[in-house]
Structure 1
């Protein structure tokens, strides 16, 4: 993220894109609004996890956002957000899953949608609920989770989405939660940076704004903001 005023180039923030395209900018948009209204210019650019880390280390970007903290001693990171994960389907599919003798059988009988073949969100939900689902590869993969959401609304398959992408749809009834038998897990999001970039007052202002905001979902299993190294 490269904040700037006047004619200076905009500061740059690089969110990870390989898992959650469209996710991370949505999470920080409300937090960045006051800075944008003050005249700060910010450029957000999507990249993969390793690209984000390399851009931070080489000063190509000032701040990074991702679902994993970079494991590099040259960088620092802090958790700035948590989001609940929901297993979801359209009403008809959810009803079929609920009517199965066992949840595992109901899930296995329906097509699986995922952001990629690694199924990170799905596997997080399944693991948290101790469900050993050995299903074939996803029937549909797509990095834009909004596309997967639209397919659920059309009555095809089931998947796992972060809460902010499905709360309205659940309230309207176009999506139905598949109740978690044990626990509804959460997804953590991290802000990362090289310590030297905080010497720049505008970068420091963006950093403070993102870190100081504590209005994120809290799970009884996790707790509050916690710095990581």
Structure 2
């Protein structure tokens, strides 16, 4: 009886991973099994149910309505069981192994990197990748990342996630450049007449700042761009131009007077940061352990899950 129940559990776990991954090959990789083994689990489940669960396509598989119904019926319970088992093993075992993290280089460097030392001392290893939103989610989807940090709201049907913290975007410049404002609230026109520093040509931090504070779009081309906010920080400190940076990154420069926050009629916008995980990764105690330790260290005692759990 116990063997039969375990067999059903494994088949359902494989089915749910195929459903979420949209691919037998990708699901097998995430589960650490061969593709024939994953296909065998699926075939056994389809035989037991008496109906097909996926339509095989040239690239991946497409779920049938029966698969949609089954996934929505079992996902929450199965995820809860695996997360509970992972947490129990994390408490009872000596945690070892490698955890893969991905996120913005600046946040990982300034906020998460200092928190990894005690985890490494426990025997864990980390492999850290950096990238933009597309690369972050590609890493999660491909099973190359266990945990990710992003400022984009995750899809609750596909990922588990928790709030990390909120960053405020700040308009900053070196003191000599800031002095041109003569203590008055700056305007969009005032800023357009001065050199600006941006992440890239689309000005991804400056655009939402202008929309939130000035109700307009930036009407200038950056004097310099760099796909790393730490470079923009250095350029701003050198007096090259003004820029918009998250508060955690420029806090030290502001405290020591290397930068000044330019006065505006309202503060800059806030961005919520999330810790995101591939739900399948929670079967590994090391991932549960690192996730919970990071959330506790940042200030959240427990993860907050949201939305439809199926995908």
TM-score under structure 1 normalisation? 0.81
* Mapped partners of 2:279, 2:152: distance in 1: 18
- Aligned residue runs from structure 1 range 74-89, under 5 A: 74-89=158-173
Cα displacement (A) at 1:160: 0.8
- Compute the RMSD of aligned alpha carbons: 2.5
Aligned residue for 2:205, secondary structure, equals: helix
Tell which structure's C-alpha radius of gyration is larger.
2
Cα displacement (A) at 1:145: 1.4
Aligned length: 212
Larger mean CA deviation between 144-153 and 96-105 belongs to 96-105
Cα displacement (A) at 1:52: 2.1
* Mapped partners of 1:180, 1:77: distance in 2: 34
Partner of 1:115: 199
Cα displacement (A) at 1:105: 2.7
Cα displacement (A) at 1:142: 0.3
Gaps of 5+ in 1: 217-224
Q: Which has the higher contact order (CA 8 A, sep 6+)?
A: 1
Cα distance per residue 1:180-202 (max 9 Å; x no partner): 31123222211111212111111
Cα displacement (A) at 1:80: 0.7
- Describe the shift of the 1:215–1:103 C-alpha distance in structure 2 as closer, same or farther (beyond 3 A): same
Gaps of 5+ in 2: 1-93
Partner of 1:128: 212
Cα distance per residue 1:137-178 (max 9 Å; x no partner): 211110121211121122221001112221221122121111
Partner of 2:144: 60
* Mapped partners of 2:137, 2:255: distance in 1: 38
Cα distance per residue 1:65-87 (max 9 Å; x no partner): 11113336222222212222210
